[in-house]
Amino acid sequence: MKRIIKSIFLFVITATLVVSCAPTEKKGSKSNKGALAGNAAEKVYVAPGEHDSHYAFISGGFSGQLAVYGLPSGRLFRVIPVFSQDPEKGYGYSEETKPMLMTSHGFVPWGDSHHPDISQTKGSVDGRWVFINENNTPRIARISLKTFETEEIIEIPNSAGNHSSSFVTENSEYVVAGTRFSVPFPQKDMPISEMKGNFSGALSFLKIDPEHGHMNIEFQIKMPGFSYDLSHPGRGKSHGWFFFSTYNTEEANSLLEVNASQNDKDFIAAINWKKIEEYVKNGGGKKMPTNYAHNTWDDDTHTATTEWKKEVLVVDPKEVPGAFYFLPTAKSPHGCDVDPTGEYIIGNGKLAAQMTIHSFSKMQKAIADKAFDGDAYGIPILKFDAVNYGILPNPGLGPLHTEFDTRGNAYTTFFISSEVVKWNVKDLKVLDRHKVYYSVGHLMIPGGNSQTPDDKYLVAMNKITKDRYLPTGPEVCQSAQLFDISGEKMELLLDFPTIGEPHYAAGIAADKIKALQPTKIFKLADNKHPYAVKNEAETKVVRKGNEVHISMTMIRSHFSPDNIEGVKVGDKVFFHVTNLEQDYDVPHGISMIGANTSELLIMPGRTTTFTWEPKEVGVWPFYCTDFCSALHQEMQGYVRVSPKGSNVPISFTLDGDVPGEEE
Amino acid sequence: MKKSKIIMIIGSLLLLGLFKFPLWNITLEAPQYPIPLGMNIHIDKFSDMHEFDIKNINLMNHYVGMQYIPETIPEFKIFPIVIGVMVLLGVIIGFIGKYKWYLGWFILMSALGIAGMYDFYLWEYDYGHNLDPNAIMNFKNPDGSIMGFQPPLFGSKDILNFTAHSYPMTGAWMMFAGMMLTVVAFFLGKKEAQ
């Protein structure tokens, strides 16, 4: 009896809970309906054949790549391979692209891409290049927005966990790299427990060549061994400065989740790079031996090469007085963001329930007044009250990153409370908040890291999606959420899935990139690849010892030559394949049965190479892998492989004739 | 100088436009070609409307066994001479100023023009009908005869997935205008003579 009463009681309680929960559930689901609420569907609808108004370059995180989306539709156009091999495109597999992934540790097939940033001219994004950092094996890549291909990857020596990177100054003078995992500088064998005071965090300034975009490590600053998490350039009045957020100022080397979270305040490091530039120009800094890879792609030879750099110029902060200051900032700040005017420097104290807003003008005065609160490893710590503009109290939990509109508002992500909060920077007042689903990391407003943000859209990038999409087993997608921020209230318009982890993004008006006329084809006449063949008559097969070099062409819808004999087991066969097409959107692919590599996908006018080491005698087919025409299925050929030591001579034909020698 | 003389000279000089501007244009539209493929015909050459168009027209046409558009044709040697001579003749006639000769020039030019068009038609016919017997795709007309792919001489025509447009270009319009001026010169000259 007692049991029955107990269970009835339980039932009543449960029912009450369900009933009382129901209305809130409904309320919640209404607000997260996005496109069904109001006219959101219309706002994201891009009719078939129409173009989106903005590009969004969203980092692929642990995929190592960079994804290109359209806004407002959220459609994925392209995944640009950057730090990871991509068999779909042959990137990192073809002989020409392998050098792109070369590092001082050898060939690294994978990377962790984090923070894309678009090049700028006069404080506005200009759509020439996207820079993106690799966290694991510290590197920065430059992607051309003419070809949407990775053109350059430079390794960062003396660094580890290249996280506070790859942000660009307002005239693309520099792109920066930082260190999240401080390490011995230079590396050496020493006890881990002796970290404190003995490790360093390198901050690297890479000069960007204004014409071609080539990067060069101009100088590297040997900072105290904190964790440099994120950074942003000063702009407008604060142009010439760079700001880096820090955590683990405790310099803990183990159980960082506790030991790096003891100080109530960490720092934002303010660095006057113009002063350092001058110091370096006058012979300052010390050249240190090192070894790192600088990989560049050449669109004339369609080939990447690795250059080994053996030296880096190191700057000791103590040697450049007036160029380094620490700004005390609430607990373990993640994002370190500068508003469009350059006046406000915002620390997103991820373990604090407040946002710290510093003032650049106050900082200037504090420096003039020498309002110091001691120093850390010789770098003056500015008095908190002397630099602080104000505090935004209790805006949410776990602030991570802030971007801005042109109306004086800031938009901050809160990871723990899973929301985006809009607030006015001057008034320090929260204006609006919106839930995101779930656990938002960073957000992006097109032109967000510039003086001229485009106020229309905001993209929130979420780490967790749980039930937001159809289930796909234990691993579900991460996602982006698009908001309309043109009105007073933020309006959720759209959810769309992303590749890998969308750490960060950069956006730009599509017209800016269209105006620069993205490449459609590579001109055959300009192809300077050593194995390029410009017409079928030039195609050939040449034996050099046990190497067989096939100079082959592809055009709708055949290869030339397509019958090859005289290859032997134990040979190394190089397929140097030129796409003779000169028409937009007519790539051809090629793959060989049993080749221990990926296919090649070759754009019109380009030459690309893969290798094949046949292990068995026989007649082996190769074929075109990209549907090119009505005769795509017929686009194939054969290679005859004879036994080792066979005397079958090299021969190559197309339709029974040696190409170019018609009957 | 008499007005008619000036008009006659200007009219014949307008033909010089043919040395600079294309005479004719053939454009091919298809769903896969949002930017159509096009070829300009000059008095001395074929040229791409957009870079590589002729190469891509040839690539399309090889499926149905059409020949490649030749680099050059004998007409490209003859046409510039004929036009040059006619310009010179027109200018001389203009200076001499006998208005009846103006009409003579016009009739001669018209005859040459018609001959040129007929020649162009013959080339087009051959281009559209002289097909490779090993063509990848063969198409037959409803009556069983082999389908040809001759572009229209003037106007627009649907050919399989393409719509072909064939129209005069700046050079031709300048020539037409010039020829009309010589007719005007004739009537004006006649009036002035009275």
Judged against a pLDDT cut of 90, whether residue A83 lies above it is answered with yes
Give the residue from A534, A526, A660, A529 showing the smallest Cα distance to A607: A529
- Say if residue A372 is in the same domain as residue A432: no
> Is B134's Cβ below 8 Å from some Cβ in A?
no
- Say if residue A366 is in the same domain as residue A403: no
Q: Residue A16 contacts by C-beta under 8 Å, 6 or more apart in sequence?
A: none
Which one of A582, A584, A630 has the shortest CB-CB distance to B55?
A: A582
pLDDT at A176: 98
Q: How confident is the model at residue A19 (pLDDT cuts 50, 70, 90)?
A: very low
- Say if residue A331 is in the same domain as residue A402: no
Residue A425 sits in a domain of what CATH number?
Answer: 2.120.10.30
Q: How confident is the model at residue A353 (pLDDT cuts 50, 70, 90)?
A: confident
Last residue within a domain, chosen from A368, A387, A406:
A387
Candidates B28, B48, B50, B59: best to mutate against A (most CBs of A within 10 A) is: B59
Q: Which helix (H) or strand (E) holds A434?
A: strand A429-435
Distances from the Cα of A399 to the Cαs of A256, A347, A466, A468, in angstroms? 19, 9, 22, 23
Handedness of CA A365, A368, A374, A378 (dihedral sign): positive
Q: Give the position of tokens 């999240």.
A: A180
Q: Give the position of tokens 């240190």.
A: A288
pLDDT at A114: 97
Residue A150 sits in a domain of what CATH number?
Answer: 2.130.10.10
Task: Determine the average pLDDT of the residues in A621-641.
Answer: 96
CA angle at residue A610 from A608 to A616, to 5 degrees? 150
What is the per-residue DSSP string for A127-188? Answer: EEEEEEEETTTTEEEEEETTTTEEEEEEE-TT-SS--S---B-TTSSEEEE--SS-B-SS--
Note whether residue A43 is domain-resident: no
Over the stretch B137-158, which tens digit does the pLDDT of each residue have? 889 989 988 898 999 999 999 9
- Say if residue A476 is in the same domain as residue A332: no
- Say if residue A260 is in the same domain as residue A366: yes
Judged against a pLDDT cut of 50, whether residue A327 lies above it is answered with yes
- Say if residue A359 is in the same domain as residue A237: yes
- Say if residue A284 is in the same domain as residue A211: yes
> Is A433's Cβ below 8 Å from some Cβ in B?
no
Distance from CA of B86 to the nearest CA of A (A): 39
**Cβ <8 Å between A631 and B63:** yes
> Is A582's Cβ below 8 Å from some Cβ in B?
yes
pLDDT at A203: 98
Last residue within a domain, chosen from A366, A387, A408:
A387
Task: Determine the average pLDDT of the residues in A412-427.
Answer: 96
Give the residue from A541, A565, A657 showing the smallest Cα distance to A619: A565
pLDDT at B51: 95
Task: Determine the average pLDDT of the residues in A391-405.
Answer: 94
Candidates B32, B50, B51, B52: best to mutate against A (most CBs of A within 10 A) is: B52
Tally of structural domains, chain A: 3
pLDDT at A454: 94
Residue A627 sits in a domain of what CATH number?
Answer: 2.60.40.420
Over the stretch A94-117, which tens digit does the pLDDT of each residue have? 999 999 999 999 999 999 999 999
Domain interval for residue A637: 529-653
Distance from CA of B162 to the nearest CA of A (A): 15
- Say if residue A483 is in the same domain as residue A597: no
Judged against a pLDDT cut of 90, whether residue A347 lies above it is answered with yes
Over the stretch A57-68, which tens digit does the pLDDT of each residue have? 999 999 999 999
> Is B85's Cβ below 8 Å from some Cβ in A?
no
Over the stretch A144-194, which tens digit does the pLDDT of each residue have? 999 999 999 999 999 999 999 999 999 999 999 999 999 999 999 999 999
CA-nearest residue to A555 within chain B is: B59
Q: Is residue A245 within 8 Å of A254, Cβ to Cβ?
A: no
Which one of A556, A583, A630 has the shortest CB-CB distance to B52?
A: A583
Judged against a pLDDT cut of 90, whether residue A13 lies above it is answered with no
Note whether residue A71 is domain-resident: no
- Say if residue A611 is in the same domain as residue A649: yes
Give the residue from A206, A336, A312, A302 showing the smallest Cα distance to A531: A302
Judged against a pLDDT cut of 70, whether residue A10 lies above it is answered with no
> Is A555's Cβ below 8 Å from some Cβ in B?
yes
Which one of B52, B63, B136 has the shortest CB-CB distance to A582?
A: B52
Residue with more model confidence, A210 or A661: A210
Q: Tell me the average pLDDT of chain A.
A: 94
Q: How confident is the model at residue A27 (pLDDT cuts 50, 70, 90)?
A: very low
Which one of A521, A556, A584 has the shortest CB-CB distance to B59?
A: A556
- Range with lowest mean pLDDT among A23-27, A250-254, A277-281, A383-387: A23-27
Task: Determine the average pLDDT of the residues in A368-373.
Answer: 97
